[in-house]
Chain A
Amino acid sequence: MDAATMTLLAKALAVGIGSIGPALAIGFIGMKAMEAIGRNPEAGGKLFVPMLLGMAFAEAIAIYALIIAFTL
């Protein structure tokens, strides 16, 4: 295995493994938000912005992995 092949493999693994956590996190945030809105439909408007904020933070971790893949 030479350097070029290892680089390709490293890029793929970085994004692949690095996206598992954020994907699960975003799913959980969405799940809890759905549950909360289902219990209390009037709170939907209030819940929307914090949910989006939480999802953006979780997605940022996936973006860090993507940056590593870009810079390799």
Chain B
Amino acid sequence: MRKSDKGLFASIPLAAEPIFEIGNFTITNSLFNAYIGVAFFILVAFLVRKKITQIPRGFYNVVEALVEFALKEIEKVTGDKKRARQFLPLVATIFFFILFSNWLGQIPGTGTIGVWGYLHGHFELIPLLRPATSDLNMTLAIAIVAIATTHFAGLTQLGVANHISKFFNIRGIVRSLKKGPMDIVVAVVEFFIGLIEVIGEFAKTLSLSLRLFGNIFAGEVLMHVMLSLVSYVLPIPFIFLELLVGIIQATVFAMLTLAFLVVATMDHGHEGDHEEHRAEPAHA
């Protein structure tokens, strides 16, 4: 029987393995899984659009229940219904796509059915399928789209000047010149805080992508090691763990995107604080 020459507890490489090329574009196994996910959702969309009746039944009922559940959860976070409907497409798509990609990786055959060949100098099994989100390219792409959408939402809802002055608070310095030296100092400090916010945006992107990638890739490594130790009954708790991790990571990614969207479209948190201070004496 063929054996890979990588060692006893070898696991999958960090980068997704290419399986074939179309012209100049290499298709990796995780990209192939991503396309399976896309095909699934397009299929669901086509199946569902023909059956819109007043009383839903069957498959359409399930889809409608899921979308309504997502909308209710988003309403709980945003507070108002109009913004919830605006944020629903992005946040629900992120949640369902990541959930489907994660769970598709648990189907037997993903990561195990493959072709024997040489990859980076070692003779090993090149799997044909691999979870789409176990590729850093995929998670980074989703994270960049999510953060770019928060900026876009901030720009369109708050206006360009308001949004830019959250990061480069020159307007605050200009306004404080009329007030006094203390206010100028405060405005300069706020300007530097705004610059640190820019770094925060990159940190958000990196942390979103690395969290999802790390969880799903580590899950794949865990499954490979576990299945190479005991192939039959014992890995069942680990497969259950992976299902749980899949849904938790999808929830975390979607919730974080929603929280960032709400913060980006919120008009300068300071105004909310002032109102609360005025209301407090009335309670005492």
- Contact of B215 with A63 in the complex, beta carbons under 8 Å: yes
The binding surface of chain B is classed by DSSP as helix
The distance in angstroms between the C-alpha atoms of A71 and B180, with both chains bound, is: 52
Q: How far is the CA of A47 from the CA of B248 in the complex (A)?
A: 15
The reply to whether A53 and B215 form a contact with Cβ atoms under 8 Å apart is no
Q: Mostly helix, strand, loop or mixed at chain A's interface?
A: helix
Task: Provide the residues of chain A in CB contact with B249, threshold 8 Å.
Answer: 56
Residue B142 interfacial (CB < 8 Å): no
Q: Once the chains bind, are B214 and A60 in contact (CB under 8 Å)?
A: yes
Chain A residue nearest to B207 in the complex (CB): A60
8 Å CB contact of A52 from B14, B217, B251: B251
Interface residues of B in 193-243 (CB under 8 A from A): 207, 210-211, 213-215, 217-218
Q: In the complex, are the beta carbons of A70 and B248 less than 8 A apart?
A: no
Quick one: CB contact mask for B242-271 with A, threshold 8 Å, 1 for yes?
Answer: 000000110110010000000000000000
In the complex formed, the residue of B with least CB distance to A63 is B214
Contacting pair A70 B14 (CB below 8 A): yes
Given A53-B255, A70-B14: A63 in contact with B210 (beta carbons within 8 A): yes
| A67: Cβ under 8 A from any B Cβ | yes
What is B's interface to A at a CB cutoff of 8 Å?
14, 207, 210-211, 213-215, 217-218, 248-249, 251-252, 255
The 3 lowest CB-CB distance pairs between A and B, nearest first, are A63-B214, A60-B211, A56-B252
